[in-house]
Amino acid sequence: MSGDEPQGQPQRPPAGRPTPGGRYSIWVGIAFLILIVIATANTLGTRDDGILGASAARAGEPLPEFALPDLLGTNQGDANIYQDDCETAANPCPADDRRTPACQVDLADVIRVCDLFDKPLVISFWFTRGAECLPAQDLIDEVAQDYRGRVNFLSINVRDDHDEAQTIARQRGWRVPLGWDADGAVSNLYRVGGCPTVAYAYPGGVMSEAVIGGDALSAEALAADIDRLIAESERRAGADR
C-alpha cells in the first residue's frame, strides 16, 4: 500500500526517540566522563604544587638540602641541590655519574643549609625584579639581631646579578648570612612564588611554617612567628627526652 514500509525492511523509530544502541553510547559516554572527573579530583587532591607560604602542606616535612654561594664572598657558581649521591638516590643516576650531596660540599664561600640545623632556623627569599623586597629584608635583618645566638637566619637572593645584589646588601648593612641563588635552583626547590617569603624550621631542619607577603612585612608578626618557633622547638626537644 502507498505509505507503508516495504515488507522485510526494519522499522525506523519515530524521529527524536533514541535507539537502544544510541542509549548505550550515551551511558558509556556519561560513565567515561564520570571516570575522568574522579581521576581529576584524585590528582588534584594528591598533588603538592602549592607555593611556599600559601598553604601548610609542607609543615612537618624535612627541609630540602642545598649549598649555595655566600653573596658577600667571591664564589659565583650555581647552587647544589642534590639530596644524596648516585648510589643511594631514590632515582638512580647513570652508572658512570657521580655527584656530591649538597650538605657534603666543601668549598670556600659556600653556605650549607645543614650547618644551620643546630638551632631554630629562619630562611627568607628576596629579589629585586618585579617586587619590592628590600624594605622587608631590612625588617628581617633588624628583627634577627634580637635573636642572635638563639635562632639561625639565612636570607637568599634569587636570580639577581651577583655584583648588584652584593652592592645592595653592603649598602643596606645587612648582618644576617646571605646566600646567592644564581639560577633559581633553591627557590624552585622550595617553590618560592613571591616576595617576601619567609620559612621557619625546627632544629634538625624540619619545616614549621612559611609566610608570604603582608605578614612578613610586620616586625610584630615576625617576632611573634619567631617566638612561636622557639617555644615549639623547646617543646619538641622536651618531648624527645
Cell 605578614 found at: 215
* CA atoms within 13 Å, Cβ hemisphere of 81: 14
**Cα gap 192→186, rounded to integer Å:** 9
Q: Is 44's pLDDT higher than 60?
A: no
pLDDT digits (tens, 9 = 90+) for 61-93: 999 999 999 999 999 999 999 998 887 776 677
H or E segment and range at residue 9: none
Give the residue among 233, 238, 199, 236 at the shortest CA–CA distance from 63.
Answer: 199
Q: What is the pLDDT of residue 50?
A: 76
| Contact between residue 200 and residue 60 where contact means Cβ atoms under 8 Å apart | no
pTM of the model: 0.75
pLDDT digits (tens, 9 = 90+) for 195-221: 889 999 999 999 999 988 765 578 999
**Cα gap 74→72, rounded to integer Å:** 7
Backbone angles phi, psi at 94, to 5 degrees: -55, 150
| Contact between residue 182 and residue 162 where contact means Cβ atoms under 8 Å apart | yes
**Cα gap 190→239, rounded to integer Å:** 28
* Residue 35 grid coordinates: 571516570
| Extended beta strands in the chain, E state | 67-69, 110-112, 121-126, 152-158, 178-181, 197-202, 206-212
Give the residue among 225, 188, 228, 232 at the shortest CA–CA distance from 210.
Answer: 225
Q: Is 146's pLDDT higher than 80?
A: yes
